[in-house]
Amino acid sequence: MRRRVVVTGMGVISPVGNTVSAFWESLVAGKSGVGKITRFDASEYPCQIAAEVKDFNPEAYMDKREARKMDRFAQYAVAAARMAMDDSKLQITEENEERVGVYVGSGIGGLETLMEQHQILLEKGPRRVSPFFIPMMIGDIATGQISIFLGAKGPNSSPISACATGTNAIGDAYKIIERGAADVMITGGAEATVLPLAVAGFASARALATAFNDTPEKASRPFDRDRDGFVMGEGAGILVLEELEHAKKRGAAIYAEIIGYGMSGDAYHITQPAPEGAGAARCMREAVRDAGINPTEVDYINAHGTSTDFNDKLETMAIKKVFGDHAYKLAVSSTKSVTGHLLGAAGGVEAVACVKAIQEQMLPPTINLENPDPECDLDYVPNVARKMAVNVAMSNSFGFGGHNASIIFRKYQE
């Protein structure tokens, strides 16, 4: 028999709040986290806006000396992980430390550290490059730092699958517990790439929104006819996943059960989704099969919904392929309309949004949906949150390279 896996803790650092409650309240209120870039002078860039994390103090979560040895993405990850573990009320001890693992990914990793140290190399020479440069930069270091801070000695790894990273991390962690290799996994994604090089690179690829520099809160508009690209965001989203009997034995609060995971590859193009959303459809279909449910049981999909032309249309097509007539009965929304696109962290924060939707029986809206694209004709919960019975929720994430990942949560029942 497959071991059942539940969510017992959550933590979020995001452009719309650095606690789960603040994050959720902003989603439900449709309060945009997008604004003018403040981290650097972006006045000469085609895209001058982003969804930056605000009021984050790493010293609230770690010693100042330790914080200095971490790139911001790792600081976000450690902060969200500590928050999630506090929420779970799980104590890691000598008795259980080898059964608690960490599986947290980042799509890009320590780009800020790379940029800073490269500048030092050019200006001051090789001897002035920091000895902490490599361990600060590498993408797996968030997982490593979390395990060190918390003392988790179980399965430990870090996936990289671009914007699907956070969802792949959670799905993989779920399977680790399901097969019995761990009892608890701390999992999700983290990213901090609101930086000159990243903004310039994505803008050169014509992926970023450029038409709303003067009205940034309107820029992220998934499924809207006037969308013109995504808005870069940053932060971290972490879940504590736990084997059901382990959670019950210690009297843990159970927020939801994770029941399905699917992934696929497009094998088509480095940035553009496969025609008709074929890869995304295979991924969602596999998640439904793995969950052992009928497609008609899915009530809500937190869409990848990036606010880009191809993605929104092709994800809509993929949902129709998988769900048939039920596609018009279930609800779909993109919380990226509020948070921007957190790249490798997106799947982590959007998993938290799905769990909260189940917990609160409330759907976060897709804001800025003012002129619906005729090719995007599903129920995207436009502009206003909706009270609704949510028993089963799916979260989608698709990434450059043709990576697709979907996870399914269900309201917990004995």
pLDDT in tens, 375-396: 999 999 999 999 999 999 999 9
Mean pLDDT for 303-315 is: 97
Residue 288 falls in which region: left (phi positive, over 0), alpha (psi -120 to 50) or beta = alpha
* Active-site residue set: 163
- The fold of 261-410 is Peroxisomal Thiolase; Chain A, domain 1 (3.40.47)
Six token digits for residue 326: 């039920």
Tell me how far the alpha carbon of residue 80 is from its chain's centroid.
12
Write the burial class of residue 267 (CB in 10 Å: 0-12 exposed, 13-18 middle, 19+ buried): exposed
Q: What is the pLDDT of residue 80?
A: 98
| The pair of three-digit structure tokens given for residue 212, joined into one six-digit string | 């709303």
pLDDT tens-digit profile of 267-293? Answer: 999 999 999 999 999 999 999 999 999
pLDDT at 158: 97
Q: Average pLDDT of 150-157?
A: 98
Work out the end-to-end distance of the chain between its first and last CA atoms, rounded to an integer number of angstroms: 16
Task: Please report which residue ranges of 194-291 form alpha helices under DSSP H.
Answer: 196-204, 244-249, 278-291
pLDDT more than 90, % of the chain: 100
Is pLDDT at 344 greater than 90 in this prediction? yes
Half-sphere exposure of 381 (CA within 13 A, CB side): 28
Q: Give the closest residue to 195 by CA, choosing from 139, 137, 234, 142.
A: 234
- Tokens 């000469």 — which residue? 44
Give the span between the Cα atoms of 166 and 71, in whole angstroms. Answer: 18
What confidence tier does 363 reach under pLDDT thresholds 50, 70, 90? very high
Which contacts of 17-23 are long-range, i.e. CB under 8 A and separated by 24 or more positions? 18/53, 18/55, 18/56, 18/79, 19/83, 20/83, 20/87, 20/352, 20/356, 23/349, 23/352, 23/353
% residues pLDDT > 70 (the chain): 100
Cα three-residue angle 26-377-386, rounded to 5 degrees: 30
Q: DSSP states of 90-120 as a string?
A: PPP-TTTGGGEEEEEE-SS--HHHHHHHHHH
- pLDDT averaged over the chain? 98
Both tokens of residue 361? 């029986």
Q: Comparing 5-249 with 261-410, is the CATH topology the same?
A: yes
CATH architecture of 5-249: 3-Layer(aba) Sandwich (3.40)
Which residues partner with 50 through β-bridges? 35
Of the candidates 106, 198, 98, the one whose C-alpha atom is nearest the C-alpha of residue 154 is 98
Looking at the predicted structure, is the pLDDT value of residue 1 above 90? no
Span 55-110, pLDDT tens digits:
999 999 999 999 999 999 999 999 999 999 999 999 999 999 999 999 999 999 99
**At residue 414, does pLDDT exceed 90?**
no
- Compute the distance between CA of residue 126 and CA of residue 119 in angstroms, rounded to an integer: 11
Mean per-residue pLDDT for 333-348?
98
Residue 208: both structure tokens together? 């970023």
CB 351 within 8 A of CB 189: no
Helix (H, G, I), strand (E, B) or coil at 185: strand
The pLDDT assigned to 81 comes to: 98
Domain positions in the chain: 5-249, 261-410
* 12-65: pLDDT as tens digits: 999 999 999 999 999 999 999 999 999 999 999 999 999 999 999 999 999 999
Q: What angle do CA 386, 388, 390 make, to 5 degrees?
A: 125
